[in-house]
Amino acid sequence: MIKQLVVAAATAGLSSSPLFAAEKTVDFMVDGQKVIGTLNIPDAVSKPPVILLLHGFTGSRNELEIPAVKEGIFSRAAKAWADKGVASLRIDFRGNGESEGKFEDMTMEGLIADAEAALDYLAASPDVDKDKMAIVGWSMGGAVGASVAGQTEHDLDSVTLWAPGTNMGSALALLFGTEAMKAGLAAKDTPATMKLPWGAEVKLKAGFFESMYRIDPIAEIEGYDGPLLVAVGSKDDVVYPQPASGQVLLDYHEGPEELWVKPMDHVFNAFQGVDMVDELIAKTGAFVGANFK
């Protein structure tokens, strides 16, 4: 049975007046490599609560651009939450975007290390409240978010997972094809070329594919007992079947939780406009705001 977390009001815990935000580029080191992020701070709030945003596979910190508004989904979310008095940090995982490292060297352990280091950065930052931190992760970033939630020593006020990967090995086999997956696992230190369904190609070493079996987001979420929101789309053809793939995280999580299901695809109908994206951003903002201590 799904244990529903009742949110008293759509803007509970958040400021009701617009608070213009300042963005700045920040960086920190992980294993000798620089991670780049964008820190968004509401101007009129002293030490605001903060959300860490974790992007998906082949993504970057601003995330997918919505054609109708020419704006990335994460950058749009950051601005919306800043208007409610909540800061955010969105990062490029190493090997992605502007961060150092090579994409081909990426592993789940490395992604988790980047996210943990981002929480360390926020906990030490004078710009935000280290006692009010939350995570939002999308797709593979959702798998990372679930894993970090179960492992971190930081006291997270909430975790929100958008279309999160759960069985990552199976998801990659569906994305690349079984034979390509076998080739990737056999690649060792020589990058194997993977063709994505939309025609793009990426190169990855065996360590990436092996790490998908070493790290299990479903098992990791058992270590987190704080508020959890899992948002999935009934039309998602990347992480599926839904809502079963989202529900399994709640089955292994003990604590306040909610499964939010909408008729949306893996990118929240972004190619059709902003309506569903904005609904998801608002829902997430309300959930996170209601759970800041």
Cα 221 to Cα 275: distance, rounded to the nearest angstrom: 30
The answer to whether residue 9 sits within a structural domain is no
Q: Tell me the per-residue pLDDT of 39-94, one tens digit each, with 9 for 90 and over.
A: 999 988 999 999 999 999 999 999 999 999 999 999 999 999 999 999 999 999 99
Cα 86 to Cα 55: distance, rounded to the nearest angstrom: 19
- Does 10 score more than 90 pLDDT? no
The answer to whether residue 238 sits within a structural domain is yes
* Percent of the residues in the chain that have a pLDDT greater than 90, as a whole number: 87
What range defines the domain where residue 56 resides?
21-166+217-291
Residues making up the chain, counted from first to last: 293
Cα 83 to Cα 214: distance, rounded to the nearest angstrom: 39
CATH of residue 258 = 3.40.50.1820
The answer to whether residue 200 sits within a structural domain is no
- Does 13 score more than 50 pLDDT? no
Residue 184: pLDDT band by 50, 70, 90 thresholds?
very high
Q: Tell me the per-residue pLDDT of 82-128, one tens digit each, with 9 for 90 and over.
A: 999 999 999 999 999 999 999 999 999 999 999 999 999 999 999 99
The answer to whether residue 174 sits within a structural domain is no
Which residue type does 60 have?
A: S
Per the structure, the count of domains in the chain is 1
Cα 217 to Cα 138: distance, rounded to the nearest angstrom: 13
